Amino acid sequence: MSARKLEDGLGNLERAVANLERAPTIPTDGERVAANDQDIAKVTPLIRTTFDFLAQRYRTS
pLDDT digit string, tens, across residues 24-40 = 665 567 777 787 888 88
User: What gap in Å lies between CA 40 and CA 21, rounded to an integer?
Assistant: 13
pLDDT on residue 34:
80
Range of the domain at 8: 3-59
pLDDT digit string, tens, across residues 13-28 = 888 888 877 766 655 6
pTM confidence score: 0.38
| Rounded mean pLDDT, 44-55 | 85
Please state the three-class secondary structure of 1-61 as a single string: CCHHHHHHHHHHHHHHHHHHHHCCCCCCHHHHHHHHHHHHHHHHHHHHHHHHHHHHHHHCC
Q: How many domains does the chain have?
A: 1
